[in-house]
Amino acid sequence: MKKKIIISKLFLYRYRFVIGYSILGLAFATLLFLLPMIAQNGLSPAEINSATKSYYLGREGVLNGDLVDLPYRVLQKYAITFLGLTTFSIKLPSILIGLGLGFLLILLLNRWFKSNVSLLASCLIILSTPFLFLAGSGTPLIMLVFWPTLLLWLGSKIQGENRPKPLYCFVFAIAMLLSIFTPYMVYFAIFCALFVVFQPHLRFVVKNLPKIPLVVVGIILLGGFTLLGLSIVKHPGTIMELLFAKDYHISEFFNNIGQAISPLFSWRSTAESVFLSPLISLPLFALILIGLFSTTKGFFASRNSIASILIVFCLIITGFNPDAIIFLILPLSILIAHGLKYVLEKWYGLFPENPYARISAAIPLSILFGIMIIPNLLQYIYGYRYNPNIANEFSYNLNVIRENLNEGRLLAKDNYDFYKILEASSELEVINELPDDTAGFATIGALEKTPEHLKLERIITSPMRENSDIIYLYTEKEGD
C-alpha cells in the first residue's frame, strides 16, 4: 500500500511562512540597494539641501538648537564623510532606514493579522511605488513613516502582553523622544496620548502597566521635551520647522491638502509633486476600500480604528507640507491587510470543507498579486526615468562631475556649499567666483560671457531632455 501523504507534515508546508518571509526579505534588500541604479539616478533639490545640511552639521550647531531631523542628518553626515559625496552615499541612510521600516511593517502586521495575511500584505506594501520612492530618496521624509511605525509596533508589544517587558516601555520612550525632532511628530505624540485616553482598552492597559517603568518613561519624555523647549528658546526658528514649515502661512492649509491628494486620484504626474501619479494603483485602491469597509464592524477596537484615525492625521499634516502625504503608507498598509483578510475569509467561507477550493485559490491570488506588484515596479523604474514632469526635477550634475572631473577647478555659483564637499574626496577645487588668473576651469552651466583669454573647449551633457548641458570646459587660448 502506498503511504498516505499528509500535507501538514511536508517541509514546504510547515515552513511556508519562513520561506516566504526569507524570499521577500532577500528580494526587498536587493531591490533597495539597487534603487540608485534602477530608478532616478539624479538628485532632487530636497536631496541636495539635505546632504548639504547634514555634512556641515557640527557640535556647535546642535548645542545652539539645530535639532530638526537630527537622527537622520547624523547618519547622512557619516555616510558622506566615509563614502564621499555620491548619489549612493546621499541615499544610503534612507536605504538602511527603509530596510528597517519594511521589517517593522512586517512585524506590525504580523502582530495584528495571521501570517498568511501579513505576508501577502507586506509584499504589496514594500514593493509598491511610494514605498520604493521613500526608501530611495536621500531626505529625512522617510522618518515621517519610520517613527510612527516603530511606535505602533512597540505599543502593540506592550498592549498585547499580560505582563509586558519593561524593556519595551523604555525603548518606546526613547523612540518617542527621538521622534519629536522630526517635523510634525510632536502632533503624533499628542495623537498617541489622546488615543490612549479615549480608547477604553488602551486606557485599561496603561493603568495596569508596572509603575516603575511608567515613571521612568515619564521622566525620559519630560526630559526630552524640556531639552526641546530650551533649544527653541535659543533657536526660535526650530518651532516653525517642527510644527509647520519654513515661511508657512495658514492660508495655504487647504491648498496644500489639495496639492497633496492630487497624486492619489490624478493619472498625470505634474512638476508640483515629486510623486508619480497615481500614487496608489487601482487594484491596491480597491483592496483598501474593501479593508475600510471591513473595519466598520467593531470600529472601536484599537486595531480597526487606528487606520482611519491615522488617515485623518495624515490629511492634517499635509496642510503644513504636501510631501507628508507619503505618511499614508502606514494607514493604507493596515487597510490593505484588512482587505486581504476579508477577501480570504470570504473565499474560504464559500468552501469550508473543500481542500481543493483552498488550493485552487492560489492561482487567482497569484494572478492578482502579479497585476498589483509588477506594474508598480515598472512604474517606479521607468516613471522616474522617463516621465518628463518628474524626471526633469532630478539633477544629474553630481554624477556627470564625478565621471568627468577628477582634478582642476570647478566654478559652482549655485549650490556652492554642496559641491564644495567634493574637495574632501578628490583633487577638485571648487570656487564660486571667476578666477583672476588665465588658467582654464570648468563651470556648471555656461558663462554669460566667455572671458577674452579663454575658449570653450568642450560641453559635457547628460541624458536629460531639458538642461542637459551640464559642464562647460574653458581652456586658455593658444598664444595667450
Count of Cβ atoms closer than 10 Å to residue 328 Cβ: 23
Cβ 397 vs Cβ 444: under 8 Å: yes
- According to the model, what pLDDT value does residue 1 have? 43
Higher pLDDT pick, 371 / 331: 331
Q: If 0-12 CB within 10 Å is exposed, 13-18 middle and 19+ buried, where does residue 432 land?
A: middle
Higher pLDDT pick, 401 / 3: 401
- CA of 181: how far to CAs of 138, 223, 321, in Å? 18, 14, 16
Q: What span, in angstroms and rounded, lies between the C-alpha atoms of 73 and 79?
A: 10
- According to the model, what pLDDT value does residue 41 have? 65
Higher pLDDT pick, 414 / 66: 414
Average pLDDT of 185-189?
84
- According to the model, what pLDDT value does residue 49 have? 92
The residue assigned the cell 533657536 is 235
Q: What span, in angstroms and rounded, lies between the C-alpha atoms of 128 and 136?
A: 12
- According to the model, what pLDDT value does residue 340 have? 87
Model confidence pLDDT, tens digit, residues 273-318: 677 778 888 888 888 888 888 777 755 555 667 888 888 888 888 8
- According to the model, what pLDDT value does residue 241 have? 78
Count of Cβ atoms closer than 10 Å to residue 365 Cβ: 15
Grid cell for residue 438: 588665465
Average pLDDT of 233-261?
76
- Stretch among 105-109, 137-141, 351-355 having the lowest mean pLDDT: 351-355
Whether residue 202 is predicted with pLDDT greater than 70 in this model: the reply is no
Q: What span, in angstroms and rounded, lies between the C-alpha atoms of 123 and 119?
A: 6
> DSSP characters for 55-79?
HT--HHHHHTT--TTHHHHHHHHHH
Average pLDDT of the residues of the chain: 79
Average pLDDT of 217-244?
74
Whether residue 266 is predicted with pLDDT greater than 80 in this model: the reply is no
Average pLDDT of 235-264?
77
Whether residue 233 is predicted with pLDDT greater than 80 in this model: the reply is no
- According to the model, what pLDDT value does residue 147 have? 93
pLDDT > 90 fraction of the chain, expressed in percent and rounded: 8
Model confidence pLDDT, tens digit, residues 22-81: 777 777 777 777 776 666 668 888 899 999 999 988 776 666 667 788 889 999 999 999
**Cis before 130? omega within 30:** no
pTM of the full structure: 0.86
- CA of 282: how far to CAs of 210, 270, 295, 367, 379, in Å? 46, 19, 20, 15, 13
- According to the model, what pLDDT value does residue 50 have? 92
- The secondary structure of the chain in percent helix, strand, coil, rounded to multiples of 5, reads 65, 5, 25
- According to the model, what pLDDT value does residue 2 have? 47
- According to the model, what pLDDT value does residue 224 have? 73
- According to the model, what pLDDT value does residue 150 have? 92
Domain boundaries, the chain: 26-391, 398-476
Whether residue 248 is predicted with pLDDT greater than 70 in this model: the reply is no
The residue assigned the cell 566654478 is 411
- According to the model, what pLDDT value does residue 359 have? 67
Whether residue 142 is predicted with pLDDT greater than 80 in this model: the reply is yes
Q: Name, of 94-103, 295-304, 469-478, the range with top average pLDDT.
A: 94-103
- According to the model, what pLDDT value does residue 124 have? 86
Average pLDDT of 137-142?
90
Grid cell for residue 43: 538628485
**Nearby residues of 183 by Cβ (< 8 Å), 6 or more positions away:** 68, 69, 144, 241, 242, 243, 245, 320, 321
